[in-house]
Structure 1
Amino acid sequence: MTDNPVQRRPGGRTARNREKVLRATAELLLREGYEALTIARVAAAAQVADTTVYRHWPSKAHLVLDALSEMARSENPFPDTGTLEGDLRALLRQIVALLERPEVQRVVRTVVSLSGDDAEVSRAKDVFWEERFSGAADLVQRAIARGELPVGTDPYELIEDLSSLAYFRLLVTGRPLDDRVVERSLALVLNRQVSVPGPGGVSSAGIDT
């Protein structure tokens, strides 16, 4: 299996160049948008050769998705408040705060619209979303250990349920991303988890289903 460019984490000078390239990519992307971004402009802004960029990212899509993964890790980390409700509320507030920024909205719409006909781009998108949701596993395992979630809860589905309303409003209806979105989404997720059937057809709240 070939090494996926968006998953590499090199060290030394290569790591420093990688950091500069991703920072330059994020800045250009948020300021000017996807269409205006080019490998040559990124290389110039990062003060590296074009070949340095292409050595690690075979296309603009790969580069952008990797830059967005880094931005998500730094600006939208998975919290640890000590409770499931606190973790989910803090996480969704971070998501909403990011989605309220016009430049982030533009980038999210671009990521969603990237062509699915290119196998490499599709894989890069898969890796982006996998990395974005990977931190949910620890959040869910902590909640299971505290008895707040049933064993077997799917972390990916939990975060999908939590964030889907915010993304639906951004991408479909255009309705406000406000505190009501956070509290409504949180209530829907927590109520759903309470009613999830456990072993023997009994919900986690102990109600026959």
Structure 2
Amino acid sequence: MSAEPGTVRPGGRTARVRTAVLRAAGDVLAEQGFDRLDLADVARRAEVGKTTVYRRWGSVTALVADLLAEMAEQSLPRTRTGSVRGDLRANASLVQRTLTDPRQGALFRAVIAAAACDERTAQALRRFYEVRVAEWAPCVAEGVARGELPAGTDAATVVRAVSAPLYYGFLTTGTAPDPADAERAADAAVAAAQAGVYAIAT
């Protein structure tokens, strides 16, 4: 069975083309939004042949899916501070810095908006967050092992609880969160987890 367009990880010149195209696609998303994303325009910006872009990705949604996969792979690894509170504050800080960044913040806003009306983009966005949550979930499991959180705490749910208020504020107010918002979100998630809110009933 052949792979979906844009999902094969190439090397050499092909890798350089992919990097240039994904960078150009991200620029268009950040500057103009999903509805203005056009493969021919992306090819022009990336200085590659239009035929190459159409052959490799085939559609705007395939290109966005590959962009999100690349972003998930390139995101910073989780931080180990020795405490679940410290780890989750680091996670919240990473989310806050991403949303505050002019390019990244605009890019995420565009992709999230597109995901609301395009199922393939929604699937790609879910995969992106699955990768990121899986990267950070071990810090919660380690907190349980150290006795900082109750046994049975759902690690993935706790990680999502950290970033949820940051994204909600970002999308509903149009204002990026600040470091105090990030710290408060992490502390609230830790407090709820310690109270057993995220413990899975057995």
TM-score by length of 1: 0.75
Q: Deviations over 1:49-99 (max 9, x none)?
A: 233323442322332343244345545442223322222111211211221
User: Counterpart in 1 of 2:181?
Assistant: 181
Shift of 1:142: 3.5
CA distance in 1, matches of 2:110, 2:178: 23
CA distance in 2, matches of 1:6, 1:156: 28
Q: Deviations over 1:93-139 (max 9, x none)?
A: 12112212344333222222215564433332332332332312333
CA distance in 2, matches of 1:182, 1:171: 15
Corresponding letter in the other structure for 1:92: A
Output aligned runs, 1:166-205, within 5 Å.
Answer: 166-174=166-174, 177-196=177-196
Distance 1:168 1:17, change over 3 A: same
Distance 1:115 1:84, change over 3 A: closer
Output aligned runs, 1:35-50, within 5 Å.
Answer: 35-50=35-50
Corresponding letter in the other structure for 2:146: R
Stretch moving more, 42-51 or 89-98: 42-51
Q: Is 1:16–2:16 an aligned residue pair?
A: yes
Q: Is 1:130–2:111 an aligned residue pair?
A: no
Corresponding letter in the other structure for 2:18: R
Shift of 1:176: 6.1
The alignment of Structure 1 onto Structure 2 pairs a total of residues equal to: 201
Q: SS where residue 89 of structure 2 aligns?
A: helix
Distance 1:12 1:151, change over 3 A: farther
Stretch moving more, 83-92 or 51-60: 51-60
Output aligned runs, 1:1-209, within 5 Å.
Answer: 3-5=3-5, 7-71=7-71, 73-74=73-74, 76-114=76-114, 116=116, 118-174=118-174, 177-196=177-196
Shift of 1:33: 3.8
Shift of 1:166: 0.9
What RMSD over aligned residues (CA atoms) do the two structures have, in Å? 3.1
Distance 1:87 1:124, change over 3 A: same
CA distance in 1, matches of 2:66, 2:99: 18
TM-score by length of 2: 0.78
Distance 1:29 1:122, change over 3 A: closer
Structure 2 portions without partners, runs of 5+: none
CA distance in 2, matches of 1:40, 1:57: 12
